[in-house]
Homo-oligomer: A and B are copies of this chain.
Amino acid sequence: MTLLVIGTLAYDSIETAHASQSDVLGGSATYFSVTASYFASVRGGAVVGDDFGDEATSVFTRHGIDIQGLERVKGKTFRWRGEYDGDMNEARTLDTQLNVFQTFSPKIPPSYLASEFVFLGNIDPPLQLHVRQQFPRARLVACDTMNYWIKGKLEELKRTLAAVDLLVINEGEARMLSGSDNLKRAAREIRRLGPNIIVIKRGEYGACLFKDSTIFFAPGYPLEQVRDPTGAGDTFAGGFMGQLARSGDLSEAGLRRALVYGSVMASFAVEEFGLSRLLRLQSREIEERFQEFKTMTHFDV
């Protein structure tokens, strides 16, 4: 089935304790779409400036990602600069230049309108809602958000949440949004705002899924070395939504498998700098790591 993502394309400059790179291709829609392309037919909507090169564009076309919804405007592409401390748990933003993204208003090409799965990446909540409303018959509409919108545009964010089926959110941001430090109560409060399914990302501790009265936990994959956590959350969402679009299975069992695929893909993302590892993945590697998650969590009763 088809999967649409709306989000950012960016040039990132990243510093870790071990390395640094400037102006590498990044952004939520990039990590999401490249990841999801291993699972489903993906199309993306975003905006870039006239500095966005053919090399960057070819990343999408090589992965069979439909970029008819990619708008090119005069000016500079969105830029983010950040650094990670030794433990790689949290990015410190050093500089954000919205550039052409400042006036972004996603235009959905007619060919996108039949998308069955829609992911509203972490952008201004009214823009998310505007996109959402163009997909009244989608099978599942999910969104992401961040502390910036929770603090600055809470009422608008609530209107978006009231209109989506699923929210993917960091643990810290779930606490902030719900006003509760307790995971279970936080999920319950957020479900009251609208989304029926809540996926909470817990960094190296994995992720969990709240739906009806059930909870499902997947651990983080134990890597010996995390080289760059940039994009891990968007990669997680890309694996999760990609698997849902591939299987079309929205049952509890289908959602659980998708959550594990999200964790699988995020674990690849952080193994190397930027997109590197995601660009040369093989299906066999993905399925092997999925099996490893089964081995790491299975016990007989």
Contact = CB atoms under 8 A, between A and B. Distances in A.
B257 A217 contact: no
Interface string A284-301: 000000110011111111
29 contacts: A86-B181, A87-B181, A182-B224, A182-B226, A184-B223, A184-B224, A185-B224, A202-B205, A205-B205, A206-B219, A208-B222, A214-B296, A215-B296, A216-B297, A216-B299, A217-B219, A217-B297, A218-B299, A253-B299, A253-B300, A256-B298, A256-B299, A256-B300, A257-B300, A260-B299, A290-B301, A291-B301, A297-B299, A298-B298
Contacts of A218: 299
A204 interface: yes
Given A184-B224, A205-B205, A219-B219, 5 more contacts: A86-B181, A87-B181, A214-B296, A256-B299, A294-B299
A183 B181 CA distance: 25
A223 B180 CA distance: 13
A111 interface: no
Interface of A: 86-87, 181-185, 202, 204-206, 208, 214-219, 222-226, 253, 256-257, 259-260, 290-291, 294-301
Nearest to A253: B300
Nearest to A184: B222
A34 B226 CA distance: 41
Contacts of A295: 214
Given A86-B181, A184-B222, A301 B294 contact: yes
A87 B219 CA distance: 21
Contacts of A204: 183
B217 A296 contact: yes
Given A205-B202, A205-B205, A222 B299 contact: no
Contacts of A181: 86-87
A225 B260 contact: no
Contacts of A215: 222, 296
Contacts of A294: 299, 301
A49 to B, nearest CB: 38
Contacts of A206: 217, 219
Contacts of A208: 219, 222
Nearest to A183: B222
A281 B255 CA distance: 34
A300 B87 CA distance: 33
Name the residue in A87, A204, A217 with the highest tally of chain B Cβ atoms < 10 Å from its Cβ: A217
Pairs of residues from A and B, 3 with the lowest C-beta to C-beta distance, nearest first: A217-B219, A256-B299, A205-B205
Contacts of A214: 295-296
A225 B301 contact: no
